[in-house]
A and B are shown apart, each in its own frame.
Chain A
Amino acid sequence: MCTMIVTRVGIEGTGKGPQGWFTLREANVSYDHPFEAPFEHALNIDFVNESLGPGARVAVELSVEAARTLVEAINAVLARAEAGGYLEPTASSQGPAGA
């Protein structure tokens, strides 16, 4: 089925697509039909910059287990970095300019 289960979040970072590196603006997370992965449904993440057109996309299609493992791994790495005092403030984490 087409579940239409999707969440869009604004993000900050860079991604490497077929044309090289580009600035990421959004991540679209869905649980729906994948294009390539051999599952009927997958946890799909599209890292995109919509202002650059549909081709500015870095895509992953994950099994449910892989997606959960990835979430745990990201959180674990961030926790270690935070404990070590390594986390850097970014433009978005510092709030509006002049605040």
Chain B
Amino acid sequence: MDDTGRYEGMLAETIVLPGHRGELINAYFARPLGPGPFPAVILIHHMPGWDAWYREATRKFAHHGYLALSPNLYFRAGHGSPEDVAAKVRAAGGVPDDQVLGDVAGALSYLKALPLSSGKVGVFGTCSGGRHAFLAACRVPGFAAAVDCWGGRVVMTPAELTPNQPVAPIDYTADLSCPLLGIFGAEDQNPTPAHVARLEEELKRHGKRYEFHMYPDAGHGFFYYDRPNYRQAQAVDGWKKLFAFLAAHLA
């Protein structure tokens, strides 16, 4: 899509939208300039928070031609540095799944109502956001594609269930409503290759469309260029596969 002779522009800003139960939350919205119509992607941030990496990823999706919207799932915890806010949420055992899904549903409604929108919306997330992306694709109607990057705890033992995460996402596989792309590292501790195999088995059992890529010599979060787990070659290939998948399903 890059062309040195082509005009391009982007608008990226913080907005406010109705989330779970209509409660207002803020979100980071990046979009290409132009009349559209554009396909859209919701980015569900990871446990370390609504941070700079997610701002950059949101702009990356806009650069690739998507209306990109990243809701602040930690809005209700107050404001401060992303780390301080995320630490507060971590101490509370994370945000409740139902609240996340309500916020994602609000973001989906916001995008679909935009005159710039083509109406095709995907959902993307990494780490806990990957888990939430899978959950949203199962429980929030209206998505055309979902991308789960190394979402842990999709497969959960009964002992791992909490009041905030009362049901293992894998148990909703029958309700998955769109094609799923999974990007995983073979050295990840969660999801382990065995967890991924278990999810794949469940997807096959329910006849779901999916595409999984398990990268060797990669652990958890290998797209994060600012962390020791970054793996350059695997990350570059993963991003290529991700954008090819979205182009195929959101065009």
Contact = CB atoms under 8 A, between A and B. Distances in A.
A54 B80 contact: yes
B78 A2 contact: no
Contacts of A54: 77-81, 84-85, 87-88
Most buried by A among B88, B93, B188, B191: B88
B159 to A, nearest CB: 11
B90 interface: yes
Contact of A35 (B86, B153, B220): B86
A6 B228 CA distance: 24
A72 interface: no
A53 B78 contact: yes
A55 B221 CA distance: 26
Interface in B76-134: 77-81, 83-88, 90-91, 93-94, 127-128, 131
A33 B46 CA distance: 10
A38 interface: yes
Most buried by A among B79, B90, B127, B153: B90
The secondary structure that dominates the B interface is loop
Contact of B87 (A39, A40, A46): A46
Contacts of B91: 6, 8, 26, 28, 30, 46, 48
A55 B160 CA distance: 29
B47 interface: yes
B169 interface: no
Interface in B119-163: 127-128, 131, 152-153, 160, 162
Contact of A40 (B80, B86, B229): B229
B14 interface: no
B229 A55 contact: no
Interface in A1-52: 1-4, 6, 8, 26, 28, 30, 32-33, 35, 38-41, 44, 46, 48, 50
Interface string B202-221: 00000000000000000111
B152 A2 contact: yes
Interface in B25-57: 46-48
A67 interface: no
A4 B164 CA distance: 10
Interface of B: 46-48, 77-81, 83-88, 90-91, 93-94, 127-128, 131, 152-153, 160, 162, 165, 188-191, 219-221, 227-229
14 contacts: A2-B46, A4-B160, A8-B91, A28-B87, A28-B90, A33-B48, A50-B88, A54-B79, A54-B80, A54-B85, A54-B88, A55-B84, A57-B88, A59-B83
A-B pairs with the 10 shortest C-beta distances?
A: A1-B190, A1-B152, A28-B91, A54-B80, A54-B84, A55-B80, A2-B47, A2-B128, A38-B228, A35-B83
Interface of A: 1-4, 6, 8, 26, 28, 30, 32-33, 35, 38-41, 44, 46, 48, 50, 53-55, 57, 59
Given A2-B47, A4-B160, 19 more contacts: A1-B191, A2-B46, A2-B128, A2-B152, A4-B162, A28-B87, A33-B127, A35-B87, A40-B219, A48-B88, A53-B79, A54-B77, A54-B80, A54-B85, A54-B87, A54-B88, A55-B80, A55-B84, A59-B83
